[in-house]
Structure 1
Amino acid sequence: MLEKLKQKFPNALSNKMENGEDYKYIWFEDFMGSTIGIPRSDITAEEIRLLELLFAPLNNQDILKTQAEPSWKTFLSEPNTPLPLTSWENIRFIHFKLSHADFSITDFEDAFLAFVPAEAAFVWENETSGILMETDKEESLSKKDLIAISTTLESDFYVKTRMFTGRFHPVNLDLHHHRNQEKKCFDLAQVHLPDLKVSDLADILPHSLLHDKSFLNKKWYINEILGQTQQDTELIKTIKTYIECNSNATYAAKQLYIHRNSLQYRIDKFSERTGLDIRNFRHALTSYLILLLND
């Protein structure tokens, strides 16, 4: 098997180099103890994930982690840049803005990462703003968690923080576009929602639509919030009717000719899929607007 891999990757090595540059290679070991090192520049993230199913990876996670931030910063800041090499399958961006930087950035990162249960990495845009990239390998941070983290960081570092949470996305070239769209939403949130320490797309959508009157990014908003739910016409009709009935469950159930328990089931299903609790006014407004856009 390793011999076949060497044919596919002619620049691969059989043994780690003594000059210490073996970090430039992704290393695997078979059940016989034989190893192969494939140049990072010659292999894709998909190929790495496939080979990890067949062979034992050798310290690749440590290598990827130490190499993650510079390559991600280049990818996110420069258009048409190749996707960084990573074993992550899905990530989301947590954008943050600090009032000043009169402290150690390393200490701030360590303090923040201490609260993050999943694998994560920082990308700094400048000395006061950046992105925390979080994977979905563990339970992700909720908005409540992030508010608590924000409060703790403000107390420890005497700095005001603002955050914006994006949605999880597959690791592919579309991440660059998602990051740019979320950044625009975060900028609007800082202007129109100054009292919210942590905001998300549900909070800022009405302001985003008013700001982007041409609706050029309408499809992006629909996909981000509704996802596959946009094809569930029965569920969409239920939620739209419920909101139009002033969130009166009894009246809405009669309008839909369904039992009230069935209505509640559909509301919970919508909330689980989209992250929107339509019993909350702001989320109900966002839901109704996005359903109108989807129509």
Structure 2
Amino acid sequence: MFKKIMSLYENSILYSERPLNVSEQYYIFFNQSEKQWLAIPKSNLTEKELNLLQILYEQVNIPSKHSGKWYEFLLVNGPLPTTSTESNYRIIQFHIKGHVEQDEIESALNGFFSDEVQYIWEDSQNGCVIEEKKQMSLSESELASISDTVESDLYVKISFYIGKLFPLSNQLPNQFRQEKEYFQFAKNHLSGSNIFTFEKVFLPLVAANLPGHIKEKLNKDFLEVFLEDPELYVTIKVFLENNLNASMTAKKLYVHRNTLQYRLDKFIDKTGVQLKDFYGAFTVFLAILLFEYDNLHK
């Protein structure tokens, strides 16, 4: 069948083995029964013809030559992808919840990232953007805006993990795998955010892996207070997340500052912990993270 389809489209290419790299100007389809791959120039297909081929055959994405080298380096123990080892790189992982074509995601991200970044896809829902230091431009808040834009335009949710800046070396694949574990933990255990960094993941990860006797101590000191007064729990959580800023906290909770102060004083009376003290605030925040983690796994 592919041979007949091939005759309809000029410059199409038929493969008996999965091609290693193909120009981005081609759509590639796989015929499961015949074990063949057909590359058709994108300019030759109308939208209706593309939709029909996507129904009949599996559309596949073959990485470009350069991104293919990065794929092999990071995921299958391949050699360094470039001879220039003086640059530092940041890897931004992303996870898509919902169904969307990979080229649509890349097209959306291209509006924000430098043209020189590389995309790697592990599967239809997980991939990453590789930025050289000189290409880095997006902040955490800008990535949050990208997430909102993708959701409104493509009707899928996308979350990001912003990796650290690392030199290009044979250690980079191990560092990448470690960051993948952090991102996986965030996706499984953290809610309320779709942008993650090591700093955001670290404390919840610590709370989840505390020794049993430490968990027991924190639960003994704070669990009853949290369960007895959920409103008080939310107030303290928002207060700590907003850097102990009373005005910002009152605004977020839609309460008067006097009401906020009353709740803070109530918590201090019940626990004896001073929230304005760094060590007290840190201890309470760790207890909150443990409380959330335990509730998620009940």
Normalised by the size of structure 2, how large is the TM-score? 0.47
Which is greater in Rg? 2
Normalised by the size of structure 1, how large is the TM-score? 0.48
